[in-house]
Amino acid sequence: MLSALTALPLALAAPVDEGMWTFDNPPVEAIQQRYGVKLTPEWLEHVQKSAVRVSTGGSGSIVSANGLVMTNHHVASDILDKLSSAENNLLDAGFWAATLEDEIPCPDVHLDVLWSIEDVTARVEAAAAGLSPAEAGAARMSAMTAIEDAAKARPGMHTEVVTLYQGGRYHLYTYRRFEDIRLVFAPEKSIAFYGGDGDNFEYPRFCLDVTFLRIYEDGEPYTPEHFLTWSADGADEGECTFVVGHPGRTQRLNTVAHLEYLRDHQVPSSMQGLMRSEVLLNIFGQASPETARIAENDLFSVQNSRKVYVGRMAGLLDPAVFAAKRQEESRLRAAVDANPEWKARWSGAWDEVAAAQDSIVSFRDRLNALGGGNLRLGARTASIAITLVRLADELEKPSAERLREYGDAALPSLYQGLYSPAPIYPDYEIFNLEWALSNMAEQLGGDDPLVIAALGGKSARARAEELVLGTKLMDIDVRKRLANGGAEALAAANDPMIEFVKALDAEGRALRKRYEGEVQAVERAAYAKIAAARFAVLGDSVYPDATFTLRISYGKVAGYQDGEEQIPAFTNFGGVYSKARERAGEEWYTLPASWTTAAPTVDRSTPFNLVTDHDIIGGNSGSPVIDAKGEVVGLIFDGNIHSLIGNFAYSDVKARSVSVDSRGIVGALRDVYGAKRLVRELTGE
């Protein structure tokens, strides 16, 4: 049974460690009352400017005076994959730069540090005043782009207008962006992801899921004003600690009708797609050791997501979850209806959200078959082609009138991805595009005009081969020439992949426009009313859903009861050696040579992993766990299986976040890898 669900904010529940709080509205009084820890403005600024967002989709933190950044191995796995080859697989073998000169530049990676937050709600909403829902939605997006463009005045800064409370607030986040990033240390995948998919989202765990990068400026290591120091003693059970990171997305403030749509349509569809992808990726990887290496990183991502969606589905099918959500919604609606002014302004909002869900059901299958509004068709060359086609079209317009991701403030990120030197493997491109084309035909039928245009009179396999083997978009210089040449250069390129996405783009744009007008715009306007109702009833004590922006969560180190078993808060090095003996001969439980060689001298009492009751979600991977002094005591890398409901609700009974202990990180660096330079930088030892 779930305790203290976030779906019950109107109830006077016992205090729990719930919430992913923005840095402009942290629950300072609640934390002080619960734990006796007072967060000062100076402490908060220091922590905020020590945290980083990683462009590969996770979190990190600056942990030294020389710009050293700590994140997870699985957050950095895309980086490691791009730096690998058949002859030198850094994912499997690991990496350690013995000197600064050995640190490897990372292609197309950037790190963002949140510098400031500004409420721009009034400016966004003013643009939408008096318009129809679809017109208002377009006006809001134009206003958001214009605000971002106007704010991006200084080099090295990046701006984003963030939608909070599903449309109740709009905040301008300004980041300091760093683009010269180099690899310092990564362990072998066999210890970073010890236990493999079988142990993923389980506990006890024994993973060294850590990677260190370094920020450079003007060719030299960055010297930050703010960075986190290292705790020599770690954290004790019951101690108040904090997680600072960038949780990806939650849907806790969704209406019941919206959650029903997720339960009945979106989540099952996503689960089925992930399960199919997992099967296909396993098939591709079985052809040879090299195909296994090429598909490895994508397979890990799909397996991880598949398990997440299975957990989400279980939560949505839990009657207790929906009962709590219905109770919370009923209480809020009753409070609105009891006030004539509120009723006139806000009472229709829930029905408006429900209408938006009915609308998307009517065309979601077609939108998904086309790979969404951005034509995600599996192959990287297809993504490059659609970026080039839309770039040529969008740059002809004023920035505020373009698709959001093509606004002036967003272009540096777009070009960084477009010109990525990451290797592209033709056989893998053909495989992925064939799957996308087959899926499109299965969803829409072979006689659908879109399917006929996509296949061009060929089988899915033959069409994929024709497009991939005929395109020149694997060449970065070609991409640059076409991007700079615009529509005229694209027309003259005679590239089959470009012509292919052109044939699909009109319908892709039309479906995206329909989604933005009939669904997104209606939802944002309705949720803005619901947010206003929440603020009226509760004040500012409600945290917004996660949006991959910087948040702080508070909690404590805590084991938990699972059935008859009491699960301890900590594991240690001795545990991983014991498990390796118990599961001898199994691939994912075999320790790398570095750990077997070090076995006689390793201190087996060294804490390795730990669990806390912090409120986290995907995107928090790589977040530091810090104590009241702001010192690093751990590194978030996972949640247990009970935490997967966190997309919709929070529980403090058995749900736990899982971290690498700071003592385990230093112990491994010192005693297993002999990385004394790195240990000195972290601890001063």
d(CA 113, CA 116) in angstroms, rounded, equals 9
Answer yes or no: is pLDDT of 362 > 80.
yes
Give the per-residue pLDDT at 15. 56
The residue behind tokens 């619960």 is 34
Answer yes or no: is pLDDT of 12 > 70.
no
| Mean pLDDT score, 299-325 | 92
Token pair, residue 14, equals 């016992």
Q: Which fold has domain 21-110+179-252+544-683?
A: Thrombin, subunit H (2.40.10)
For the chain, give the mean pLDDT: 94
**pLDDT-derived band of residue 223, with 50, 70 and 90 as boundaries?**
very high
Give the per-residue pLDDT at 16. 79
| Mean pLDDT score, 154-166 | 91
SS3 at position 624: strand
Give the per-residue pLDDT at 539. 82
Answer yes or no: is pLDDT of 6 > 50.
no
| Mean pLDDT score, 249-278 | 95
Neighbouring residues of 645: CB distance < 8 A, sequence distance ≥ 6? 2, 311, 312, 314, 315, 318, 321, 651, 655
Give the per-residue pLDDT at 7. 39
Answer yes or no: is pLDDT of 37 > 60.
yes
Give the per-residue pLDDT at 156. 86
Q: Do you find a cis peptide bond into 204, omega within 30 degrees of 0?
A: yes
What is the per-residue pLDDT across 404-441, written as a single tens digit (0 to 9) for each? Answer: 999 999 999 999 999 999 999 999 999 999 999 999 99
Answer yes or no: is pLDDT of 50 > 50.
yes
Q: Nearest Cα to 469, choosing from 379, 386, 390, 387?
A: 379
What is the per-residue pLDDT across 405-415, written as a single tens digit (0 to 9) for each? Answer: 999 999 999 99
What is the per-residue pLDDT across 631-660, written as a single tens digit (0 to 9) for each? Answer: 999 999 999 999 999 999 998 899 999 999
How much of the chain, in percent, has pLDDT values that exceed 70? 98
- Are the CB atoms for 224 and 216 separated by under 8 Å? no
Give the per-residue pLDDT at 1. 30
The residue behind tokens 């969803």 is 443
Neighbouring residues of 600: CB distance < 8 A, sequence distance ≥ 6? none
The residue behind tokens 């660096």 is 669
What is the per-residue pLDDT across 265-277, written as a single tens digit (0 to 9) for each? Answer: 999 999 999 999 9
Token pair, residue 450, equals 């879109």
Q: Which long-range contacts (CB under 8 A, 24 or more apart) does 478-486 make?
A: 479/384, 479/388, 479/418, 479/419, 480/419, 482/388, 483/388, 483/391, 483/415, 483/418, 486/392, 486/395, 486/396
Lowest-confidence region among 119-128, 249-258, 311-320: 311-320
Domains of the chain by residue range: 21-110+179-252+544-683, 256-531
C-alpha separations of 144 from 133, 150, 404, 437, 515 in Å: 16, 10, 8, 35, 18
Q: Nearest Cα to 207, choosing from 636, 605, 597?
A: 636
d(CA 71, CA 81) in angstroms, rounded, equals 16
Give the per-residue pLDDT at 79. 96
**pLDDT-derived band of residue 152, with 50, 70 and 90 as boundaries?**
confident
Give the per-residue pLDDT at 153. 66
C-alpha separations of 675 from 185, 344, 593, 661, 665 in Å: 9, 66, 16, 17, 11
d(CA 393, CA 406) in angstroms, rounded, equals 10
SS3 at position 193: coil
Other CB atoms closer than 10 Å to residue 366's CB: what's the count? 16
**pLDDT-derived band of residue 27, with 50, 70 and 90 as boundaries?**
very high
Phi-psi region of 111 (alpha: psi -120 to 50; beta: other; left: phi over 0): beta
Other CB atoms closer than 10 Å to residue 176's CB: what's the count? 17
